[in-house]
Amino acid sequence: MPTVLADAHNLLSELIAHYSSRVDYLAIRFEESEGTNILLRGNQVDTLSEGLSIGGQVRACYKGGWGFASFNQLNTIKERLEEAIAAARIVGDEETLLAPIKPVQDKCQLPLVGTDPRQIPLAQKKALCDRYNDILKNYDSKIATTTVRYSDSTQKVIIATSEGTLIEQSWADMEMRFVATARNGGIVQTGRETIGSRQAYEDLTNIDQQVRSAAQRATDALSLPTVKGGTYTVVIDPILTGLFVHEAFGHLSEADMAYENPDLLEVMSIGRRFGPEELQIFDGAAPVGHRGSYFYDDEGTPATKTQLIKDGILVGRLHSRETAGKLGETPTGNARCLNYYYPPIVRMTNTWIEPGKTPVEDLFEGIKEGVYARNWLGGMTNGEMFTFSAGEAWMIRNGKIAEPVKDVTLSGNVFKTLADIEAIGNDFYWDESGGCGKSGQSGLPVGCGGPSLRIRNVVVGGEV
């Protein structure tokens, strides 16, 4: 495919030069991707495929109005350019406000530290899925259904803009998901595990114990008592912390959410205190080796490390060039698209809470009755409200971890919950299992991280 890429470099530059005078801003993003998808449901092979995709998108802006068109044949790109430019000129009636960035010409590749998934035969990937599926199915006779999903994708992207940017960037991303459902009469429980990597195929090949733990949690939960619903002081592990900071806080930090919603913009005002002085929250693609890492976003803005909360106070938010321009702030390199079918929008990359100073064992001290929650099973957010299901949980009694319980959901208001953080653990874990969804673009790779947290006044669902 090097000929296609080389031809695309020259063609995109020529087209940008020819058409850019008709609009305020013009960008073409060309993409080549190849990947594998395998899905096993019990003994059935639901999906077994390898694919190659070539296509691109055109974005034009005129007087603040945007036109967008996608294509999967280079010989149609002129028609798509005309469509995007015409659409932008029809809807544009204001001022184009794009925060400035320095034009860049670069060619870069996110480095792998192990084997490229393209070097692994499909039969070998299928055999890996079979092995993990056997672990799930054979763990216990109570395992009723299993699901194993494997996917990898290798992308090469060229971005050319009317401002002189010309970037080629490539990476590989891999993910596996496991679900085991156990049944005992009318009682059904589910265990899940997910692992992802942008570093090596080998990261997926030696996780037998992690896969087994999904089946173990499902079967163990069949005989566990249901937690008594109420309001508790809760200790959560780093995986739940990562989920919380991404889902409950991270989406509210995406500036397109704020500038389109004046009420949210007022709530998310820079300088407002949200948590204790020890609380530090970041997002950024600049830290290397994570699933949300890259060198440039899909507008050609360099990756950054953006502090969102400093010493408990909101100090930043995540931007595309348009949101930064409209709010008078600095682009953060967070404009991302899932693939060429979609325009870039403001998305998280790697989002994390910095570790604190409290030893993890001390987080439980003084809790007469509370809940210790680990891992995640599912969850949802609605604005500033959230509900998450823990993968496993225990009661805390008199400062000690006591009996395990099931059906633990954690609910609350993100702003109140941040303010109710009582202590931040000195541990830390990166969770590379994330696939984020927004505006129809689901499965965008992200990283989440954090320490264990102790939080008061958390609503825990269960039996009343």
Distance CA 443, CA 336 (A): 12
> Which of 448, 438, 252, 442 is closest to 345 using CA atoms?
438
Residues 59-112: tens digit of each pLDDT: 999 999 999 999 998 889 999 999 999 999 999 999 999 999 999 999 999 999
pLDDT for position 286: 96
Does the pLDDT of residue 6 top 80, yes or no?
Answer: no
Residues 11-27: tens digit of each pLDDT: 999 999 999 999 999 99
Distance CA 311, CA 248 (A): 19
Kindly list the distances between the CA atom of residue 416 and the CA atoms of 185, 220, 384, 440, in Å, as whole numbers in the listed order: 40, 33, 9, 29
Identify the band that residue 2 occupies on the pLDDT scale cut at 50, 70 and 90. very low
Identify the band that residue 233 occupies on the pLDDT scale cut at 50, 70 and 90. very high
Residues 364-392: tens digit of each pLDDT: 999 999 999 999 888 888 889 999 999 99
Average pLDDT, the chain: 95
Average pLDDT over residues 302-326: 98
pLDDT for position 386: 94
**Which domains, and CATH codes, for the chain?**
2-221 (3.30.2290.10), 230-461 (no CATH)
CA atoms within 13 A on the CB side of 168: 13
Identify the band that residue 157 occupies on the pLDDT scale cut at 50, 70 and 90. very high
Query: 0.85 exceeded by the pTM?
Result: yes
| Three-state secondary structure of the chain | CHHHHHHHHHHHHHHHHHHHHHCCEEEEEEEEEEEEEEEEECCEEEEEEEEEEEEEEEEEEECCEEEEEEECCHHHHHHHHHHHHHHHHHHCCCCCCCCCCCCCEEEEECCCCCCCHHHCCHHHHHHHHHHHHHHHHCCCCCEEEEEEEEEEEEEEEEEEECCCCEEEEEEEEEEEEEEEEEEECCEEEEEEEEEEECCCHHHHCCCHHHHHHHHHHHHHHCCCCECECEEEEEEECHHHHHHHHHHHHHHHHEHHHHHCCHHHHHHCCCCCECCCCCCCEEEECCCCCCCCCCCECCCCCECCEEEEEECCEECCCECCHHHHHHHCCCCCCCEECCCCCCCCEECCCEEEECCCCECHHHHHCCCCEEEEEEEEEEEEEECCEEEEEEEEEEEEECCEEEEEEECCEEEEEHHHHHHCEEEEECCCEEEEEEEEEECCEEEEEEEEEECCEEEEEEEEECEC
Does the pLDDT of residue 4 top 90, yes or no?
Answer: no
- Asked if residue 408 lies in contact with residue 396, where contact means CB atoms within 8 angstroms, the answer is no
* Token output for 237: 């592990």
> Which of 451, 455, 278, 441 is closest to 348 using CA atoms?
441
* Token output for 378: 């599912």
pLDDT for position 5: 61
pLDDT for position 1: 42
Residues 264-297: tens digit of each pLDDT: 889 999 999 999 999 999 999 999 999 999 999 9
